[in-house]
């Protein structure tokens, strides 16, 4: 009997190494086609429908809803189309198989084989059928256990090595030729190695395990001996059920919520930002009356295509980043010939402007790609589109993880200011507070004006207060005199 093909959970992009299985879209015994969605999984960035690269009958579902699966582990086993017919045509295991009669099943099998060769072209981040790229997708038939465990899939060491080769086709964001496996990514993450700053020693710049190991600074043996037992103790989970009494406060426990998905990613990123980035904050009150009046005038003439205030401010921010490019960079760790480590500031040709969006799944930061090349109207349309996408949980990792600077409109929450945490590995975030009526001196006289507060948090390693203050003042002046600034953009 033809053994099932095992589909491994594919790489989901942006360094993600695990996903939570939300629910299955198929059941054991179902007939499925190539690229049919088989499961919904939730990563730290978005909800993703995973398509099947195989056509056939679902044999095994590897996992239960709510379970966290690692990239590269079995997701589903599929018995290929036509396997049953070819099996029944063979009288014994050792006999020569008879020619399969022409049938719809045989025709479907041939269609499946042609799809396997040509590829459907549908691509999930880091995975997909070849579809014209000239690269054949490798598949394998796994070993089957015997007896009561006949439904379980056993993966040998050789097969694991082969699977790792498949996973090594994963792209590192921002580096076209450097590809790494999730195992290498996890090693780098656990040791704080920035893969974006490594030069791979493999073919076409591929980042290998040895490259990450070379970038890891060895710990003293004595320190390792002392700290080795600690991770096991720290990772011991608390009881998952509610009830009981908290030992620290003496209060009753009403519930426990696992930190996972988006909340887990946000917590990890914010902790890393605060621990690694020496941040500083500057702020200024701004008279936004002229901008509010400008938009009101545009809305009267074209009520359906007038950009929002955030789009105008985004336009000013991208212009300011061109003038002060130090804030549109990131810091990466580099290695030297002596085995030591250093740092360098990486500048970008363009701005991918991230903006904070509150969703039911938590705070998301989608980014407008090449925002510096868009008009205020184009920025407004893209901001609205991305906001809708993230709130539906359908944003791709590429839409969520490639920002170079973040704009945060916390005025929608009715607050004036906030010392925001930088979205690592970026080096700056600009916050905009609510716009309210305040007393303001205009031409020596007191007047009521529309006032907002801008707050800039920046990485002090990439620039000093003069650069940060200059950028903040540029954006503030643009808000106060939007007509003259827009004329120059």
SS (H, E, C) the chain: CCCCEEEECCCCCCCCCEEEEEEECCCCCCEECCCCEEEEEECCCCEEEEECCCCEEEEEECCCCCCEEECCCEEEEEEECCHHHHHHCCCCCCCCCCCCCCCHHHHHHHHHHHHHHHCCCCEECCEECCCCCCCCCCCCCCEECCHHHCCCEECCHHHHHHHHHHHCCCEECCEEEEECCHHHHHHHHHCCCCHHHCCCCCHHHCCCHHHHHHHCCCCCHHHHHHHCCHHHHHCCCCCCCCCCECCCCCCECCCCCCCCHHHHHHHHHHHHHHHHCCEEEEEEEEECHHHHHHHHHHHHHCCCCCCCHHHHHHHHHHHHHHHCHHHCEEEEEEECCCCCEEEEEEECCCCCEEECEEECCEEECCEECCHHHCCHHHHHHHHHHHHHHHHCCCCCHHHHCCCCEEEEEHHHHCCCCCCCCCCCCCCEEEEECCCEEEEEEECCEEEEEEEEEEEEEEECCCCCHHHHHHHHHHHHHHHHCHHHHHHHC
62 is catalytic: no
* 8 A C-beta contact, residue 195 and residue 172: yes
Q: Cβ–Cβ contacts within 10 Å for residue 432, how many?
A: 26
Q: 133, 191, 305, 460: which is the annotated catalytic residue?
A: 460
Please list the active-site residues: 460
């Amino acid at each position: 009997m033809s053994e099932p093909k095992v589909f491994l959970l594919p790489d989901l992009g942006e360094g993600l190494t695990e996903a939570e299985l939300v629910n299955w879209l198929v059941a054991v015994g179902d007939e499925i086609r190539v690229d049919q969605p088989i499961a919904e999984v939730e990563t730290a960035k978005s909800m993703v429908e995973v398509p099947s690269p195989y056509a056939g009958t679902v044999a095994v579902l590897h996992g239960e809803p709510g379970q966290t699966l690692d990239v590269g582990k079995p997701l589903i086993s599929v018995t290929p189309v036509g396997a049953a017919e070819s099996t029944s045509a063979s009288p014994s295991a050792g006999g020569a198989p008879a020619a399969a009669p022409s049938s719809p099943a045989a025709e479907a099998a041939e269609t499946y084989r042609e799809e396997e060769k040509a590829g459907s072209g549908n691509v999930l981040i880091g995975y997909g059928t070849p579809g014209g790229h000239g690269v054949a997708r490798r598949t394998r038939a796994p070993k089957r256990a015997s007896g009561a465990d006949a439904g379980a899939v056993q993966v040998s060491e050789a097969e694991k090595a082969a699977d790792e080769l498949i996973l090594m086709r994963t792209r590192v964001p921002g580096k076209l030729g450097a590809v790494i496996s999730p195992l290498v990514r996890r090693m780098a993450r656990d040791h704080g190695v920035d893969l974006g700053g490594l030069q791979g020693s493999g073919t076409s710049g591929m980042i290998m395990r040895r490259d990450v190991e070379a970038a890891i600074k060895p710990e003293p043996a004595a320190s390792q001996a002392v700290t080795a037992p600690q991770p096991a103790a720290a990772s011991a989970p608390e009881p998952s059920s509610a009830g009981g009494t908290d030992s620290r406060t003496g209060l009753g426990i009403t519930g426990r919520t696992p930190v996972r998905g988006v909340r887990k990613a946000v917590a990890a990123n914010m902790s890393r930002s605060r621990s690694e980035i020496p941040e500083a904050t500057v702020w200024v009150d701004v008279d936004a009356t002229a901008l509010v009046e400008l938009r009101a005038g545009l809305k009267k003439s074209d009520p359906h295509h007038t950009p929002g205030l955030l789009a105008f401010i985004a336009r000013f921010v991208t212009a300011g980043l061109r003038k002060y490019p130090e804030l549109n960079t990131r810091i990466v760790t580099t290695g030297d010939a002596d085995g030591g480590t250093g740092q360098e500031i990486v500048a970008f040709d363009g701005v991918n402007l991230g903006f904070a969006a509150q969703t039911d799944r938590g705070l998301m930061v989608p980014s407008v790609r090449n925002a510096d090349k868009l008009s205020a109207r184009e920025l407004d349309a893209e901001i609205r589109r991305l906001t809708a996408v993230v709130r539906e949980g359908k944003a791709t990792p590429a839409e969520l993880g490639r920002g170079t600077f973040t704009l945060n409109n916390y005025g929608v929450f009715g607050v004036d200011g906030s010392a925001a945490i930088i979205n690592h590995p970026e080096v700056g975030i600009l916050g905009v507070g609510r716009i309210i009526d305040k007393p303001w001196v205009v031409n020596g006289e007191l007047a009521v004006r529309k006032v907002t507060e801008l707050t800039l948090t920046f990485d002090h390693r990439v620039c000093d207060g003069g650069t940060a203050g200059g950028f903040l003042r540029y954006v503030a002046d643009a808000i106060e005199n939007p007509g003259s600034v827009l004329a120059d953009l």
